[in-house]
Chain A
């Protein structure tokens, strides 16, 4: 007794259309590998480089509520804009984001991060200075490390004071690839 693809999609679409979800997610393809993209009713809330639903769905449920369902409709806009970004035809994302339970400092840093322009880089120290905490480069590094919405919130544009790439959740090769895509000077 198999649930057909069509019946399955009907249910998922209806659930999203009726706004019954705490989080809708889908796994989408990209030139840097599959991405797990998730959104609440308030906006995009997660992008993961290495989809691992077993663990990531639990994380979503803990943060946003248990009604977590795969639903392409929930992330359609984000998926389209990511495709455009990877195709080189989009330089900035027009998406609401939901930072969930992020602490005030992290929110402040991520908001400032979102202002770093396409194709440019900044440093952890410079970003710290922009949030009024010039000595907090390390804390800024921690926020980047835990950025819930990479690519859209462009932590790949933040590099070390000596110009080294330092680190990236998706791997340094991905960070370099995104910067090259944007035509940043490396």
Chain B
């Protein structure tokens, strides 16, 4: 298990990618507010982390939640908050959001970024520091795991 780095190092390593992610999703001022809130929230939780694995995925899931909350508060345009509908058999994110917390961190981040935020696998790969193929696998194994946890599979075959 990787040791938990001093917060300063974590922040320097992740801040650009977090801001980049938020700027894609939100208007400039909202993205900067969300950036600050993301790292304050990470700081509040930081001394409860049990290890230093998957920190990028962890902070991006925080950023995703804040971006979604910001989007809800500000009645976003379709561009800022993609429709969370069943499309091409993909799960409606609202149906799985409460379950995603149970997933391993990388899978959770991949699922949240793919289905909650409709990011392309290239972007998710950048976020996770992996290849697009690894990101796709993480998202699909996360979804399989979620399906196994639910009686009626999210998205279904309708």
Contact = CB atoms under 8 A, between A and B. Distances in A.
A53 B36 contact: no
Contacts of B9: 57
Size category of the binding interface on chain B: 20 to 34
Contact of A3 (B6, B19, B47, B49): B19
A66 B36 contact: no
Contacts of A60: 6
Interface stretch (A9-17, A83-91, A160-168): A9-17
Nearest to B41: A20
Contact of B7 (A3, A7, A68): A68
B40 A11 contact: yes
Contacts of B46: 66-67
Given A3-B35, A66-B47, A69-B11, A61 B6 contact: yes
Could you tell me the dominant secondary structure of chain A's interface residues?
A: mixed
Given A3-B15, A69-B11, A10 B36 contact: yes
B35 A67 contact: no
A58 interface: yes
A69 B8 CA distance: 5
Contacts of A10: 32, 36
Interface in A1-55: 1-3, 7-8, 10-11, 14-15, 18, 20-22, 25, 53
A91 B74 CA distance: 55
B23 A1 contact: yes
Contact of A20 (B5, B6, B16, B40): B40
A1 B19 contact: yes
A11 B35 contact: yes
A117 interface: no
A67 B36 contact: no
Contacts of B7: 21, 66-69
B92 interface: no
A15 B40 contact: yes
B22 to A, nearest CB: 9
Interface string B1-27: 000111111010001100110010000
6 contacts: A1-B19, A3-B19, A7-B35, A53-B8, A61-B6, A66-B5
Interface of B: 4-9, 11, 15-16, 19-20, 23, 32, 35-36, 39-40, 43-44, 46-47, 49
Interface of A: 1-3, 7-8, 10-11, 14-15, 18, 20-22, 25, 53, 57-58, 60-61, 65-70
6 A-B pairs with least C-beta separation: A1-B20, A68-B6, A57-B6, A61-B6, A20-B43, A66-B4
